[in-house]
Amino acid sequence: MRSILIKDTTKEERERIVADSVGNIDGMCDGCSPGILNMYQDYIDGRRELREINMEFRRGYVSGAAGPEKSDCGNAKLRRIK
């Protein structure tokens, strides 16, 4: 397998790497492709490695930092029977 590091690839190769990884970017059938492509633009332009972009995305997803606050689900509290 060839290296996918910025230093070992051209911009055209990086565009192809992202396109091959994302899949059907031309059809944009479900509307999420543009957002995904924007996420990888720094890699395509040679500013950040794929690893950095993916780690940043996963950090926000796993931590829930960008997600909504959780609240009580509304279920009645169970009474403790003595």
3-state SS string over 9-32? CCHHHHHHHHHHHHCCCCCCCCCC
pLDDT at 49: 97
- Of 21 and 32, more confident: 21
Write the DSSP symbol of residue 40: T
3-state SS class at 42? helix
Residue 10 in any domain: the answer is: yes
This prediction's pTM: 0.61
3-state SS class at 8? helix
Of the candidates 53, 54, 57, 73, which has an alpha carbon nearest to the alpha carbon of residue 65? 57
- Range 7-15 average pLDDT: 96
Residue 82 in any domain: the answer is: no
Q: How many domains does the chain have?
A: 1
Residue 77 in any domain: the answer is: no
pLDDT at 77: 46
